[in-house]
Amino acid sequence: MLTVLSIAGFDPSGGAGVLADIKTFAAFGCYGAAAITSITSQDTVAVYGAYHQTPEVLRAQLGPVVADYEIAAVKTGMLPTSAAIKVVAELIEDHNLSNIVIDPVIRSTSGYDLIDGAAACLSERLLPLADVLTPNMAEAARLTGMEVSTLDEMRRAARRLYELCQAGKTRRIARRAVLVTGGHLADEATDVLYDGRETQVFRAPKIVTRNTHGTGCTLSSAIAALLARGCDVPEAVRRAKDYLAAALRTAPAIGRGAGPLNHSIQVMSDE
């Protein structure tokens, strides 16, 4: 069984972070391992606090797992400090890990800042290692300093983020594709993928639901699992979007706010 590693925050409500990642990996027939970067206090209504792990604790979690398992893909989520980002970057480079999906978690949907002034370090140190970078529109705007509210602006932001990935220095050769996700667009769930050569637009009907907690975590984790299973990037994006739509449509409607998705849909297929 293929092992996929999540390096992200812990959401005790189970909708986002490592718990969402592990459930998504399982849906694609992969074994999930995880290291926790921050323990958060949150539910479907809001994030109330975050308690970051030291770089020593993060390194102590990661070292034995990477030494023991053959890691087929890595998905990163909440990396709240420059020190945590550097630990993860060094791990990827030192162990020559592959199929790296970077979800640049910066701020929660409820408005809680999940990164402590480390956005510049994220851009310089980790983005160049990404095989696929998956910012939403707000994250793309934060990382590029550009306005990102329309499809054309998503295309421009994807190209700019690709340039930022190319500009960094790294010991690892990455595929470097940028997927700017447009779930917050009014009419369609439209995502823009740029790989340095061409731009592809993935459109899907927008599913109107309050149960959207952890959509970014889920999409990026599905992409990581599919890369581990041998899909190329466009196919991984397409199939991950299909899974996300199914998880949204069948969400269990629990909690008083933005409820979690139904991660348990089994979608593993060799098609």
Is residue 183, in this structure, part of any structural domain at all?
yes
Is residue 254, in this structure, part of any structural domain at all?
no
Is residue 271, in this structure, part of any structural domain at all?
no
Task: Please write the tens of the pLDDT for every residue from 79-93.
Answer: 999 999 999 999 999
Across 59-63, average pLDDT: 98
Tell whether the model's pLDDT for residue 108 goes beyond 80. Answer: no
Tell whether the model's pLDDT for residue 178 goes beyond 90. Answer: yes
Q: What is the CATH number of the domain that holds 94?
A: 3.40.1190.20
Pairing of strands 191-194, 177-180: antiparallel
Tell whether the model's pLDDT for residue 151 goes beyond 60. Answer: yes
- Give every strand in the sheet of 132-133, ordered side by side: 47-52, 31-42, 3-10, 71-76, 100-102, 132-133, 177-180, 191-194, 199-202
- Here the tokens at position 100 are 């790296």
Tell whether the model's pLDDT for residue 271 goes beyond 60. Answer: no
Across 208-228, average pLDDT: 96
- What's the DSSP call for residue 100? E
Identify which of 110-119, 122-131, 214-223 has the greatest average pLDDT: 214-223
Tell whether the model's pLDDT for residue 211 goes beyond 50. Answer: yes
Tell whether the model's pLDDT for residue 20 goes beyond 80. Answer: yes
Is residue 208, in this structure, part of any structural domain at all?
yes
Q: How many CB atoms lie within 10 A of CB 252?
A: 12
pLDDT at 110 (0 to 100) = 63
Instruction: Identify the helix (H) or strand (E) that includes residue 71.
Output: strand 71-76
SS3 call for 180: strand
Is residue 37, in this structure, part of any structural domain at all?
yes
pLDDT at 106 (0 to 100) = 85
Q: How many CB atoms lie within 10 A of CB 183?
A: 20
Is residue 126, in this structure, part of any structural domain at all?
yes
Is residue 265, in this structure, part of any structural domain at all?
no
Tell whether the model's pLDDT for residue 270 goes beyond 70. Answer: no
Instruction: Identify the helix (H) or strand (E) that includes residue 239.
Output: helix 233-249
pTM (two decimals): 0.95
Is residue 174, in this structure, part of any structural domain at all?
yes
Residue ranges making up the domain that contains 222: 3-249
Across 222-243, average pLDDT: 97
Query: How many domains does the chain divide into?
Result: 1
